[in-house]
């Protein structure tokens, strides 16, 4: 029996709050330096640009995923509305964060991997059960990726 569930990530409020605090601390640290004149202006401008780009990435909608147990796989929702199989290239799993690098299968070598960040408050419906399910899937997928790399290197 193949068990599937859909993950429709939303922008994380925790990630935006952390980015806001990081920006405040960065500006405070820049104020404590001995930079003056155009060097200070350039450093402040670069910092604000970096923060603006990071903020834009935190409010963007994340692509929906369809994950399944047995076999462990992931599918990506295409702009046409159909599910295309994908391959998880690398995976980092923490109790509070999951980082996925996913590539579409048909153009596996040509396309750049898509980075998906999942936090407990970024899942719809936001529940402990859905977070535990995706954590279990991610840990099993991580083991599968590790064993596949061992077989390739042997």
Which range among 21-25, 108-112, 130-134, 138-142 has the greatest average pLDDT?
Answer: 21-25
Q: What is the mean pLDDT of residues 123-137?
A: 76
Q: Which residues contact 137 (CB under 8 A, 6 or more apart)?
A: 67, 69, 72
Q: Give the pLDDT confidence of 96-120 residue by residue, as tens digits.
A: 888 888 877 766 566 677 777 888 8
Q: What is the pLDDT of residue 9?
A: 72
7 versus 54: the higher-pLDDT residue is 54
- This prediction has a pTM of 0.65
Per-residue model confidence (pLDDT) at position 23: 93
């Amino acid at each position: 029996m193949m068990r599937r569930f859909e993950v429709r990530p939303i922008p994380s409020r925790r990630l935006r709050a952390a980015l806001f605090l990081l920006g405040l601390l960065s500006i405070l640290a820049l104020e404590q330096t001995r930079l003056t004149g155009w060097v200070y202006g350039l450093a402040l401008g670069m910092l604000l640009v970096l923060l603006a780009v990071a903020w834009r990435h935190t409010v963007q909608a994340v692509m929906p995923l369809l994950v399944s147990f047995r076999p462990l796989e992931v599918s990506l929702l295409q702009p046409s509305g159909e599910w295309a199989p994908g391959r998880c290239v690398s995976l980092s799993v923490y109790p509070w964060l999951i980082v996925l690098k996913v590539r579409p299968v048909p153009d596996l070598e040509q396309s750049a991997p898509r980075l998906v960040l999942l936090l407990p408050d970024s899942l719809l419906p936001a529940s402990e059960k859905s977070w535990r399910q995706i954590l279990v899937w991610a840990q099993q997928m991580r083991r599968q990726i590790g064993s596949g790399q061992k077989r390739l290197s042997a």
